[in-house]
């Protein structure tokens, strides 16, 4: 490496990460004896709290080592025990040993994929997989099927990959997970321009992944699944599709729903919506030709989409009226808008192991650390405001942030201060929301919406607020998931009936009794309410499905069906865990729960727990159909 360029880049290095680089390359334990300061901020201080003398020592050693003519790592895969030491040093805190193998896989230090036994190579063509959806989950699974040689086809309703990232194009749309964690553990390094990237970069990344993984040719775009039926005698799925060439029926051994939970926009039921004279649309259906400049815009809803949208458009519109049903807790994120420096980008691209350990720090800070503080303390004396002592501290910190951002506006503080415990609803990131609603052309309305008139929005007090454009930022239909595909399993059972009343259930969120060879990705109770990355979950579930396929080949079984007892036991465990967590707190209302109060969307587990559960399929959890079931 060019020494001058390297020296300039090292001045901007994250020293926690650089310590790990030095240890990989030298194997010298002196680099594990330096203890960085623990920093729980999502974007931590790059100096790691080290003294200037120690900083200079680390950078100097890295400069000499990396500018040498050849650099060969002393440690490729540290193994579990040494990995724990490295993680503890990097973070300046103790890391439980159960994270070692998971993080080694995430960083590419050991193999994550399942290798197909050589004696099964001639059996891959006996199985075919039909994947519905070419978003994050569909692309992840397709890449793994391609690797082991199992034929697959992806059905995608849109004309490009990306799923929800393709469809959601509203101003300000972006990721609320650091994108070095919101990316696949495999594939080439992608040069994210920011720590939290906007929608366009994420969409571009997914399009590049489709090309890099070599799966694009197997995608049938502009095609929808209209129905799917399990054929028991043939042990296969018959899937009706409708695309550019008209209706058609495909057959596949395996059917995978990769459509996720954020698939179908949910419009509110408000009287008079059809009478509005202006333009009205859901935030997930943003028109290409819309121009908000100088317009009177009404936004109904104050969830994640609205919180991203409002700061982005407030200076463009003439008047912005935001209708809020429930105030939201929002975390301040210092450096949310920061660009990754040129030196930082250079290190991520050029220096061995730097990108992997940079990814690790992001995965850890936005991972499992919060979940233990979302458990109810039965002895806590203030359950009306928080769950436990730490949750109460989080409440105080976020309340102080609201008061500071809205100083001098007691009217807005009253409107924006939630009464429920923090994290009881999806936690949001403050990217300028509070500053936006203080502007003269913005009004935050907390009176309930009564109806839509021809001219605008009318609240319960009878006041009409005129609008040229109404935007419904009202979320998605979360409860139907794979049932939207009109799926019929054994003995005429339909997934819509089994999952009635917005109560979907599945073993590990993936398999459902009486629906053989059906796998759901991003299914029931796999949402992330405490942190983490959907990319991580997609990789966990992809490995599990591949494990199921390999097990079927080894057993020479054309069909597997999760046992009812296994499914029911798992659902009971999920419900017991959730009974101790914040989302079942009395009085809570969140889209994570159905009308009966059951939490069906998010998982109660740590990421490492779900990784362990899905790492390898347990054959004892399934009933295997004999080979004769497929006419063999």
Break the chain into its structural domains and give their ranges.
Answer: 3-111, 131-263+477-630, 273-329+383-472
**pLDDT at site 629:** 57
| Arithmetic mean of pLDDT, 465-489 | 93
Under 8 Å between Cβ of 44 and 380: no
Q: How far apart are CA 407 and CA 430, in angstroms?
A: 16
pLDDT, residue 627, reads 61
pLDDT of res. 336: 86
Which tokens is 123 given? Answer: 């059996």
Cα 373 to Cα 38, 70, 391: the distances in Å are 18, 47, 6
Hey, do 131-263+477-630 and 273-329+383-472 end up sharing a CATH topology, with the first three levels equal?
A: yes
Distance CA 499, CA 485 (A): 13
Position 628 scores a pLDDT of 58
Per-residue pLDDT band for 534 (boundaries 50, 70, 90) equals very high
- Above 90 in pLDDT, residue 54? yes
Question: In the CATH hierarchy, which top-level class contains the domain 273-329+383-472?
Answer: alpha beta
273 neighbors 445 (Cβ within 8 angstroms): no
Contact present, 498 and 520 (Cβ < 8 Å): no
In the chain, pLDDT over 90 holds for what percent of residues? Answer: 88
The helix or strand, by DSSP H or E, that contains position 82, with its residue range, turns out to be: helix 79-91
Region 412-428 average pLDDT:
93
- The pairing of strands 622-624 and 560-562 is antiparallel
Give the global pTM: 0.95
- Written in H, E and C, the secondary structure of 510-554 is CECCCCCCEEECCCCCCECCCCCCHHHHHHHHHHHHHHHHHHHHH
d(CA 216, CA 453): 46
> Which of 187, 202, 203, 206 has its CA nearest to residue 139?
206
Q: Where are any strands of DSSP class E within 59-200?
A: 129-132, 152-155
Cβ–Cβ < 8 Å for 182, 535: yes
Task: Of 24-33, 267-276, 357-366, 586-595, give the lowest mean pLDDT range.
Answer: 586-595
| Sheet order of strands, 236-243 included | 246-252, 236-243, 224-231, 487-488
Contacts of 202 (CB under 8 A, 6+ apart): 165, 174, 175, 179, 182
251, 257, 259, 261 alpha-carbon torsion, rounded to 10°: 150
Statement: residue 601 has pLDDT above 90: yes
Average pLDDT over residues 93-102: 97
Please answer whether residues 309 and 333 qualify as being in contact, where contact means their C-beta atoms are separated by less than 8 angstroms.
no
Residue 193 has pLDDT above 50, yes or no: yes
User: How far is Cα 472 from Cα 487, in angstroms, rounded to an integer?
Assistant: 30
Chain segment 538-557, per-residue pLDDT in tens: 999 999 999 999 999 999 99
Pick the range with the lowest mean pLDDT from 265-274, 431-440, 618-627: 618-627
- Locate 386 and state its tokens: 């928080």
Mean pLDDT of 146-155: 97
Supply the pLDDT for residue 632. Answer: 42
Nearest to 77 by CA among 125, 112, 117, 41: 112
Question: In angstroms, how far is CA 592 from the centroid of its own chain?
Answer: 14
Q: Find the helix or strand (DSSP H, E) in which 251 lies.
A: strand 246-252
What b/e readout covers 103-113, taking b as 16+ CB neighbours within 10 angstroms? bbbbbebbebe
Mean pLDDT, the chain, rounded, equals 95
Nearest to 152 by CA among 100, 219, 77: 219
- What mean pLDDT is predicted for residues 210-238? 97
Average pLDDT score over residue span 9-27? 97
**Cα 467 to Cα 278: distance, rounded to the nearest angstrom:** 7
Q: Is the pLDDT of residue 509 over 60?
A: yes
pLDDT at res. 70: 85
3-class secondary structure, 431:
coil
3-class DSSP state of 111: coil
Residues 48-77 as b or e (16 or more Cβ within 10 Å = b): bbbeeebbeebbebbbeebeeeeeeeebee
Question: Helices (DSSP H) in 369-417: which residue ranges?
Answer: 389-405, 410-416
Q: Which of 127-131, 181-185, 385-389, 626-630 has the lowest mean pLDDT?
A: 626-630
Structure token pair of residue 82: 């040494």
Please name the residue that has the structure tokens 């030298």. 26
Q: Are 528 and 536 in contact (CB under 8 A)?
A: no
pLDDT at 631: 46
Question: Which whole number is the average pLDDT over 62-68?
Answer: 95
Does residue 442 surpass a pLDDT of 60?
yes
Q: Could you name the CATH architecture of 131-263+477-630?
A: 3-Layer(bba) Sandwich (3.50)
Q: How far apart are CA 231 and CA 489, in angstroms?
A: 8
Structure token digits, residue 534 = 């959907």
């Amino acid at each position: 490496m060019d020494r001058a360029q390297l020296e300039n880049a090292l001045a901007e290095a994250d020293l926690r990460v650089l310590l790990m680089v030095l240890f990989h390359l030298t194997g010298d334990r002196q680099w594990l004896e330096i203890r960085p300061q623990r920093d729980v901020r999502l974007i931590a201080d790059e100096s790691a709290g080290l003294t200037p003398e120690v900083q200079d020592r680390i950078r100097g050693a890295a400069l000499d080592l990396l500018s040498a003519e050849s650099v060969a790592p002393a440690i490729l895969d540290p193994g579990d025990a040494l990995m724990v030491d490295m993680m503890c040093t990097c973070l300046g805190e103790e890391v439980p040993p159960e994270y070692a193998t998971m993080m080694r896989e995430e960083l590419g230090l050991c193999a994550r994929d399942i290798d197909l036994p050589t004696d099964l190579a001639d059996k891959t063509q006996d199985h075919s997989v039909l994947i519905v959806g070419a978003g994050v989950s569909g692309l992840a699974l397709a890449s793994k099927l391609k690797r082991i040689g199992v034929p697959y086809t992806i059905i995608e309703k849109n004309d490009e990959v990306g799923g929800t990232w393709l469809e959601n194009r509203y101003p300000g749309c972006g990721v609320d997970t650091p994108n070095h964690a919101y990316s696949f553990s495999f594939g080439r390094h992608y040069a994210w321009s920011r720590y939290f990237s906007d929608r366009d970069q994420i969409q571009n990344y997914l399009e590049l992944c489709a090309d890099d993984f070599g799966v694009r040719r197997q995608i049938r775009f502009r095609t929808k699944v209209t129905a799917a039926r399990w054929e028991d005698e043939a042990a296969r799925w018959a899937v009706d599709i409708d695309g550019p060439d008209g209706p058609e029926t495909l057959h596949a051994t395996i059917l995978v729903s990769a459509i996720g939970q954020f698939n179908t926009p949910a419009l509110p039921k408000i009287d008079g919506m059809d009478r509005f004279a202006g333009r009205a649309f859901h935030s997930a259906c943003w028109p290409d030709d819309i121009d908000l400049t100088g317009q009177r815009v009404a936004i109904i809803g104050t969830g994640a989409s609205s919180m991203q949208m409002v700061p982005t458009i407030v200076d463009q519109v003439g008047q912005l009226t935001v209708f809020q049903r429930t105030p939201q807790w929002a975390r301040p994120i210092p450096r949310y808008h920061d660009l990754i420096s040129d030196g930082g980008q250079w290190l991520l691209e050029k220096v061995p192991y730097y990108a992997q350990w940079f990814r690790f720090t992001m995965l850890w800070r936005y991972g499992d650390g919060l979940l233990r503080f979302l458990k109810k303390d039965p002895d806590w004396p203030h359950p009306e405001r928080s769950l436990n002592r730490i949750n109460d501290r989080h409440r105080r910190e976020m309340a102080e942030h609201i008061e500071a951002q809205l100083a001098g506006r007691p009217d807005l503080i009253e409107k924006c201060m939630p009464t429920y415990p923090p994290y009881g609803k999806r936690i949001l990131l403050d990217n300028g929301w509070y500053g936006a609603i203080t502007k003269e052309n913005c009004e935050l309305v907390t009176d309930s919406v009564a109806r839509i008139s021809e001219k605008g929005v009318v609240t319960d007090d009878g006041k009409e607020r005129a609008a040229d454009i109404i935007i419904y930022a009202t979320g998605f239909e979360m409860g139907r998931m794979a049932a939207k595909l009109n799926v019929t399993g054994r003995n005429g059972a339909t997934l819509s009936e089994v999952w009635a009343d917005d109560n979907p259930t599945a073993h590990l969120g993936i398999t459902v009794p009486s629906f053989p060879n059906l796998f759901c990705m991003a299914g029931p109770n796999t949402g992330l309410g405490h942190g983490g990355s959907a990319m991580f979950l997609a990789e966990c579930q992809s490995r599990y499905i591949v494990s199921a396929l390999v097990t079927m080949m080894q057993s020479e079984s054309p069909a597997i069906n999760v046992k009812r007892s296994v499914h029911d036991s798992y659902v009971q465990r999920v419900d017991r865990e959730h009974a101790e967590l914040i989302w079942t707190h009395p009085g809570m209302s969140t889209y994570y729960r159905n009308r009966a109060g059951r939490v069906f969307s998010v998982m109660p587990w740590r990421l490492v727990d779900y990784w362990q559960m899905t790492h390898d399929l347990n054959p004892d959890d399934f009933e295997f159909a004999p080979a004769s079931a497929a006419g063999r």
